[in-house]
């Protein structure tokens, strides 16, 4: 029989339990205190030295939004950058000096539709330091009214439904006490005509999730004032309150009912700003960035799959607009009626993505259709959303139409580089252009890897009088690609697959008397000046170069070039073919298309083929362009 426990042992166990419980409770309490400090529910940093608090639990050093306004700018003052900006002293906190202030979003909300007026969104920001010193309220929520909200009975101010429900719920108990007599009379009246009391009607509709506009109570002006919500005009409402981790950090404007928001932490309003009088123009929608740590997902190292394969989808000349865009030369011609370019192109791209499931996207310029995209940011977001949604890495080069709106080539590349799943880089400052960079795809120790070069082929000639046509690659770019290839080192060129992507074709694309697979339906609009990029690509070990620009050309041409050091070099020069309905077609029934490249590391080979909008299920011009590391005239009708 087991010996009974001694009293001393029982006391020791009891003490140990109490100690564990105490330590646990104190630990949880401490963590809650630290979290509350970080979220600014309490302010431990006023009691303790800030350096005594762990970094994670200290309040974030960030900017807060103190106010929002929409200002107008008359025609006489259009050139003034401050014509629609409030005075520094206006709004909460007054003139905050170097700790923040008003900034104007450089986007005309009217998109140039008015001859006399421009309107801009203004945001007043303050530093976290200034907020902590003053403890006034900041913007913690934003709501936009819709036309349906304006139809709610009694909603003369067109308050967003979200605000009505929130304020009404907050004041439900107090409100019901204040209106007890009226509700009682209404209930009696309803019962007298065979109806249900109003309170029961509302409760029933809530339970059934079928609340109609007539059942939503419109709060009083006093209730709105106490709620923190206030109108800023044009259907825009903001709520002020103490700063938290979820306070509003930034605002932006995108345009059109087809606009999308791909950025992490941003939310695009369902409804546009109201009452701007923008007949026939894409309406502005507010996008809001709430607080928190919002970082783009980390892109895994690109590598061939376990079967030694890696697939690249080339999308060339997608030509998107702000708004749905207009179809140009659609095929068949009878489909032109009611044709919306961007939605139709997206349908095609999405179908190819579903069929091919590529590992990477290469966009080779003219993502934006110049003046048809007065807000190129909206257009670029639409282009990239299908890839971001599917978490497919993508890389971009800039075409001649991408910078014809309000963003420069540098700004366009920087915007693309900032978005989720982007492989895009601005490139070295000493190299001409923007977007000269290399993307590597890793193979196994016993198989080939791949080097993918993306380059800025520039735009129109900088000296059109003496050198008309298009600009050309510069010597710094030739030096860069050769030097970049030499940095790789691990494998010899014979063990590496190598490709180059750019927008405007090289002069060598005109040598169409050589072996070719695909269509030549228009003249090759390459630069008149040849600076030797074709030779530089050969010295970098590039086997396949591919571009866009000429929409109705989709061929791959096997170019052979004699070289003093390389003797005879072969390289495939390919076109992607125009993919966007917003860009021209019009050449003998030309159908929009995309090109796919299938890389195989285990056989050191590259295949390519195309898919057409009128029959995406069908593969066109399937061919092998590199076999066992050798560029050769090899055609293959088999499916990848």
Q: Which stretch of 16-25, 141-150, 252-261, 584-593 has the lowest confidence by average pLDDT?
A: 16-25
pLDDT, tens digit, for every residue of 51-104?
555 554 555 557 899 999 999 988 777 777 678 899 999 999 999 999 999 999
Q: Does residue 636 register a pLDDT over 90? A: no
- Other C-beta atoms lying within 10 Å of the C-beta of residue 445: 5
The encoded tokens of residue 119 equal: 């309107």
Q: What share of the chain is helix, strand, coil (3-state, %, to 5)?
A: 30, 25, 45
For 218-276, how does the pLDDT look when each residue is reduced to its tens digit (9 = 90+)?
888 888 888 999 999 999 999 999 988 889 999 999 999 999 999 999 999 999 999 88
DSSP-assigned letter for residue 76 = G
**% of the chain surpassing 70 pLDDT:** 84
Distance CA 149, CA 418 (A): 36
Closest by alpha carbon to 65, among 149, 136, 157?
A: 136
Per-residue exposure over 22-50, b if at least 16 CB sit within 10 Å of its own CB, e if not = eeeeeeeeeeeebeebbbbeeebbeeeee
Residue 357: burial class (beta carbons within 10 Å; 0-12, 13-18, 19+): exposed
The per-residue pLDDT for range 194-226, each reduced to its tens digit, is 333 323 223 333 334 444 445 688 888 888 888
CA dist list (Å): 414 to 210, 363, 397, 549: 46, 15, 11, 22
pTM over 0.75: yes
The predicted structure's pLDDT at residue 159: 92
453-470 pLDDT, tens digit per residue, is 999 999 999 988 888 999
pLDDT at 557: 97
- Domains (range + CATH), the chain: 23-59 (no CATH), 63-171+219-290 (2.100.10), 309-631 (3.60.21.10)
Most confident of 44-53, 65-74, 349-358, 557-566: 349-358
Mean pLDDT lowest among 121-135, 165-179, 198-212, 291-305:
198-212
Comparing C-alpha atoms, which of 226, 254, 82 is closest to residue 166?
226
- Which tops the pLDDT comparison, 566 or 22? 22
Closest to 246 measured CA to CA, from 289, 209, 286 = 289
């Amino acid at each position: 029989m087991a010996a009974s426990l001694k009293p001393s042992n029982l006391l020791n166990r009891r003490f140990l339990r109490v100690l564990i419980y105490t330590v646990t409770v104190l630990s949880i309490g401490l963590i809650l205190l630290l979290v509350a400090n970080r979220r600014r529910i309490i302010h431990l940093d006023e009691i303790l030295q800030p350096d005594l608090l762990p970094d994670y639990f200290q309040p974030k050093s960030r900017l807060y939004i103190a106010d929002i306004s929409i200002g107008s700018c008359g025609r006489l003052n259009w050139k003034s950058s401050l014509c629609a900006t409030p005075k520094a002293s206006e709004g909460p906190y007054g003139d905050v000096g170097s700790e923040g202030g008003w900034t104007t979003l450089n986007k005309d909300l009217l998109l140039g539709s008015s001859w006399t007026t421009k309107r801009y969104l203004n945001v007043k920001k303050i530093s976290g330091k200034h907020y902590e010193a003053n403890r006034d309220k900041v913007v913690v929520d934003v709501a936009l009214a819709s036309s349906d909200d304006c139809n709610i009975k009694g909603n003369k101010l067109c308050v967003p439904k979200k605000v009505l429900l929130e304020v009404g719920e907050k004041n439900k108990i107090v409100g019901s006490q204040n209106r007890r007599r009226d509700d009682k009379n209404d209930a009696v009246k309803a019962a007298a005509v065979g109806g249900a009391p109003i309170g029961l009607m509302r409760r029933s509709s809530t339970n059934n999730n079928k609340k109609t506009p007539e059942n939503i109570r419109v709060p009083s002006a006093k209730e709105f004032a106490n709620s923190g919500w206030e109108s800023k005009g044009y259907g825009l409402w903001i709520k002020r309150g103490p700063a938290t981790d979820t306070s509003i950090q930034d605002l932006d404007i995108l345009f059109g009912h087809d606009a999308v928001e791909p950025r992490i932490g941003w939310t695009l309003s369902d409804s546009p700003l109201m009452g701007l009088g923008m007949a026939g123009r894409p309406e502005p929608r507010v996008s809001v960035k709430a607080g928190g740590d919002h970082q783009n997902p980390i892109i895994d190292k690109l590598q061939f799959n376990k079967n030694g394969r890696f697939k690249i989808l080339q999308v060339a000349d997608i030509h998107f607009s702000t708004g749905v865009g207009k179809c140009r030369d659609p095929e068949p011609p009878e489909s032109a009626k009611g044709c919306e370019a961007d939605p139709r192109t997206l349908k095609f791209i999405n179908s190819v993505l579903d069929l091919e499931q590529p590992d990477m996207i290469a966009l080779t310029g003219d993502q934006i259709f110049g003046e048809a995209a007065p807000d190129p940011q909206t257009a670029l977001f639409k282009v990239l959303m299908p890839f971001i949604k599917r978490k497919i890495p993508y890389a971009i080069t800039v075409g001649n139409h991408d910078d014809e709106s309000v963003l420069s080539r540098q700004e366009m590349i920087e915007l693309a580089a900032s978005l989720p799943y982007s492989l895009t880089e601005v490139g070295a400052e000493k190299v001409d252009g923007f977007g000269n960079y290399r993307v590597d795809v890793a193979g196994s120790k016993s198989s080939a890897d791949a080097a993918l070069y993306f380059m800025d082929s520039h735009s129109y000639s900088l000296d059109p009088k003496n050198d008309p046509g298009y600009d050309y690659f510069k010597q710094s770019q030739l030096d860069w690609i050769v030097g970049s290839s030499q940095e790789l080192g691990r494998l010899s060129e014979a063990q590496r697959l190598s490709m180059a992507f750019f927008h405007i074709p090289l002069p060598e694309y005109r040598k169409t008397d050589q072996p070719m697979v695909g269509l030549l339906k228009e003249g090759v609009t390459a630069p008149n000046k040849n600076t030797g990029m074709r030779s530089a690509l050969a010295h970098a070990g590039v086997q396949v170069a591919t571009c866009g620009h000429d929409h109705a050309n989709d061929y791959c041409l096997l170019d052979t070039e004699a070289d003093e050091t390389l003797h005879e070099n072969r390289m495939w020069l390919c076109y992607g073919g125009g993919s966007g309905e917003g860009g021209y077609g019009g050449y003998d029934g030309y159908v929009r298309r995309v090109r796919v490249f299938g890389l195989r590391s285990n056989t050191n080979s590259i295949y390519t083929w195309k898919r057409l909008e009128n029959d995406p299920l069908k593969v066109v011009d399937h061919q092998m362009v590199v076999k066992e590391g050798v560029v050769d005239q090899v055609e293959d009708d088999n499916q990848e």
